[in-house]
Structure 1
Amino acid sequence: MKIKQEKNEKFDGLAEDYDRYRPRYPLALFQMLLAPFQDRKNLTVVDVGAGTGIALESMVDTLGEAHQYHAIDISSDMIEHGKKKFPHVNWHKGKAEDVVLELSSIDLAVAAQSFQWMDRPSLMAAIDSRLNTGGAFAVLQNNRHFEKSDFLDAYESLLEDMSSGYSRYYRKFDFLQEMKDCFGEKGNIALHSHDWLMTIPSDAFIGMSRSSTQAQRAISVHGQVFTEQLSELISEYEKDGKLEILYHSELFIFTKS
């Protein structure tokens, strides 16, 4: 598969594998995020950088469909896939900060696994201008816990060797400080984390890897060599055809007072 270089097509062509193989987010973090909203009516909920709606799965399941949901993404492929899952959601293609400013008000905005790709100061300023009192903006992400996994450490090294410009530290931003700089004393800012283990079939990990732009970039340059080295790596660490993937998930929440 040829990797498209245009920013607005970053994930085009990957939607099906992305939705099928990407890990979902820990229920414990979603319960923490959504608990203040469960008894509220007529919420306006925004999924920023929604992809195929993976975060929406937990939000709609927990809060119900009787709210106004908006999902924003820059990939037509992701949006078309998401519409099939959530036809009742308002899907928008465009820059998140621009679409947010088109909304009159927001009760809950979530950026799941997408915040690092965005113009974060502009997005937070837009959300701040539309966020209702008592509303929340959350950043949620699953991070491969390579510091505590020999397999994941080796996998990151493989990507760094074969995917041009990739670093395992690509999400190493101080989101907490960035949120403090943007929102200041306008409310409470908190960070919650959760470590968890996912056991998956080895072929599912290959599918998950192929759904990433990093692996696709390696495939576009090295082709079968990358695939063979990935298979060799998996063979070294799998047990009974399965792999254990350790995640360190983080939830950053700003609640407006």
Structure 2
Amino acid sequence: MEPRKQKFDTLADDYDRHRPRYPAVLLKELVGPLAGRSRPHVVDAGAGTGIVLEGLIPILGEDGRYEAVDLSSDMVSRGRAKFPSVSWSVGPAEPFLEQARDVDLIVAAQSFQWMDRPRFLRAARGCLNPGGQVAIIQNNRDFRASSFLDAYESLLEELSPGYSRHYRAFDFGAELREAFAPGGGTVEVRTADWTTTMAADDFVGMAKSSTQVQRGIEAHGQALLDRLRDLIDRHADQDGALTMPYHSELFTARTASAAESDG
């Protein structure tokens, strides 16, 4: 597990400051099944610094029972400072879920691809309450809609060892159906397309919070950052801002409710 932990240690400040947040429309869809549950039990798995909690807690309420787990102690320290009322743990998500009980919602935001996914889903299915839900949410840079992002992905593919822009090209919906449908669970997939603007320095900060860019810096040093700055200079507008299109995805699997199970 140590290599996975090292992916994000030392990156917490840039990660928390520069990573894009999740679209409100998908967060509202995500929490819909929890309507009417008092003090819902939520686990943020692979939580990082708790970016998804920034959107969930205002919707669900401060009185919910929130737990968060991440491999990186740096990320957890930053998250704990932001959300001291959340119960934070350092470690892998899979064994954490295997010992969890009576969970209403498990969220894996921008982290599911790093998991032992079959083990994660077995554990999620085992600890969720009837009608509980596991949600996979991710923001994807839409390189098909942006010449800048297309060039940025090409730069990473050239200079970051082993990187491919398709590194998250898994059929998460099919994986959820395989895990949950046999027990009467239901799976849904929702998407949202949105655009933000980002100052050049903020984009560099976001890039440096990425393990792919860190691998490129280890391999090529300052040369990668110099080429990134040149790329930004060629695509930024006259105010030095970049237009950033995103394609966000939400995959949810809900366990059968008590009434459905009885039926």
TM range (shorter): over 0.9
Query: 1:36: Cα distance to partner?
Result: 2.8
The counterpart of 1:201, out of the listed 199, 202, 205, is 199
Q: Percent identity?
A: 50
* Root-mean-square deviation over aligned CA pairs: 1.0
Aligned ranges for residues 59-208 of structure 1 at < 5 Å? 59-185=56-182, 186-208=184-206
1:35 is the counterpart of 2:41 = no
1:75 & 1:198 partners in 2: Cα distance? 28
Q: CA deviation at 1:35?
A: 2.5
Q: Distance in 2 between matches of 1:124 and 1:175?
A: 11
* TM-score using structure 2 length: 0.94
Which residue pairs with 1:241 in the alignment? 240
Partners of 2:108 and 2:101 lie apart in 1 by 19
Deviation for aligned residue 1:148: 1.5
Deviation at 1:6, TM superposition (A): 2.2
In structure 2, distance between residues paired with 1:128 and 1:35: 19
Matched-pair contact (CA < 8 Å) for 1:42–1:66:
yes
Q: Structure 1 CA distance, aligned partners of 2:68 and 2:4?
A: 18
CA contact (8 A) 1:38 1:62 kept: no
| TM-score, L = length of structure 1 | 0.96
- Please state whether the residue corresponding to 1:84 is helix, strand or coil: helix
* Contact 2:177/2:186, CA 8 A, preserved across alignment: no
SS in structure 1 at match of 2:170: coil
Partner of 1:220: 218
Aligned length: 253
SS at match of 2:169: coil
CA shift digits 1:93-151 (9 cap, x unpaired): 12211011222211000000000000000000001011111111100000011111111
Task: Indicate conservation of the 8 Å contact 1:189/1:254, yes or no.
Answer: yes
Q: Structure 1: give runs of 5+ residues left out of the alignment.
A: none
Q: CA deviation at 1:62?
A: 0.9
CA distance in 2, matches of 1:226, 1:67: 44
Q: Which amino acid aligns with 2:23?
A: P
Q: Which runs of 4+ in 1 moved over 3 A?
A: none
Contact 1:14 1:211 in 2 (8 A): yes
